[in-house]
Amino acid sequence: MLDGRRISPRKGQGLLTAREAERVQGWIRDKCPDQLKLPYMLWTAPVVREVIRRRLGKELGESTIRLYLERWGFTPQKPMSRATQRSDAAITRWLHQEYPVIARRAKREKALICWGDETGISNQDQIGRGYAPKGKTPLVNKTIRKFTTSMISAVNNRGLMRFMCFKGALNAALFIAFLKRLIESIPEKVFLIVDNLRVHHAVKVRKWPDHLVGSFSAKFSNAT
């Protein structure tokens, strides 16, 4: 065991008490290094070693740090990106208060709920993993020419996706063109839920349903 027993007789390596181990785990779990006034953005074994040295005054070997991390259940992982403007409280409120209202209305009006979003596509992206003998990494041959395009899509709650590719940045005219194609391809009324991208709130987009007539107009509802 690591706590309560010396891992190595090497002078100066030191050990963490149970209380100190809990504190270190809390720092790693709840904070990023820069929030602890360290000049790093992500946790690595050397960074954990440094925070222990600075805050607890103990010099531990890097191999010992890795053993601690393994025992605590921490593994190297690719970080996810998250917008600094994200509000967990607003997301919870929307999921538990606003979305149920939309869902009930969609059911009452026999409408199809779709979720809209935009993304970029590149022929250089490699998605997924494949099995191969240990030590023999699979090789994927690709052209050195890079092709990129943009895509706007709408996915319903059953996973059916409708999308349109376009060049350049999304603007109001392109967004409206997609909306027209979307409602023409779906027989039911459409409730489209989108994020707060500026183009979704453009004046032309907000006024567009007013120019629709008859059943064509009745098929579209924009829930942002």
Compute the half-sphere exposure of residue 68: CA atoms within 13 Å on the CB side of its CA.
29
Say what the pLDDT of residue 135 is: 73
| Residue 195 pLDDT greater than 80, yes or no | yes
Say what the pLDDT of residue 9 is: 46
140 phi, psi to nearest 5 deg: -110, 120
Q: Of residues 77 and 206, which shows the higher confidence score? A: 206
Q: What is the mean pLDDT of residues 31-50?
A: 90
Give the H or E element holding residue 223.
strand 220-223
What secondary structure does DSSP assign to 122-172, as a single string? ETT---S-----TT--------SS--EEEEEEEEETT--EEEEEESS---H
| Residue 7 to residue 18: CA distance in whole angstroms | 15
With bands split at pLDDT 50, 70 and 90, how would you rate the model's confidence at 21? Answer: very high
Nearest to 51 by CA among 71, 77, 30: 30
| Residue 55 pLDDT greater than 90, yes or no | yes
| Residue 11 pLDDT greater than 70, yes or no | no
Nearest to 194 by CA among 121, 102, 110: 102
Say what the pLDDT of residue 212 is: 58
Say what the pLDDT of residue 126 is: 62
Burial class (CB in 10 A: 0-12, 13-18, 19+), 179: buried
Give the gyration radius of the chain's Cα atoms: 26
Contact residues for 120 (Cβ-Cβ < 8 A; gap 6+): 148, 149, 150, 151
Q: What is the mean pLDDT of residues 140-169?
A: 86
Contact residues for 161 (Cβ-Cβ < 8 A; gap 6+): 153, 154, 155
Say what the pLDDT of residue 59 is: 92
Q: Tokens at residue 159, please?
A: 């996973």
Which listed CATH number (3.30.450, 1.10.287, 3.40.50, 3.30.420) goes with 88-122+136-223?
A: 3.30.420
pLDDT tens digits, one per residue of 75-127 = 877 777 777 777 888 889 999 999 999 999 999 999 999 999 998 887 776 66
Q: What is the mean pLDDT of residues 200-212?
A: 82
Q: Where in the chain is the domain with CATH 3.30.420?
A: 88-122+136-223
106 phi, psi to nearest 5 deg: -60, -40
| Residue 90 to residue 99: CA distance in whole angstroms | 12
C-alpha torsion angle, residues 149, 154, 157, 158 (rounded to 10): -60
Say what the pLDDT of residue 129 is: 62
What's the predicted TM-score (pTM) here?
0.58
For helices 18-30 and 62-72, angle between their N-to-C axes, nearest 10 degrees: 80
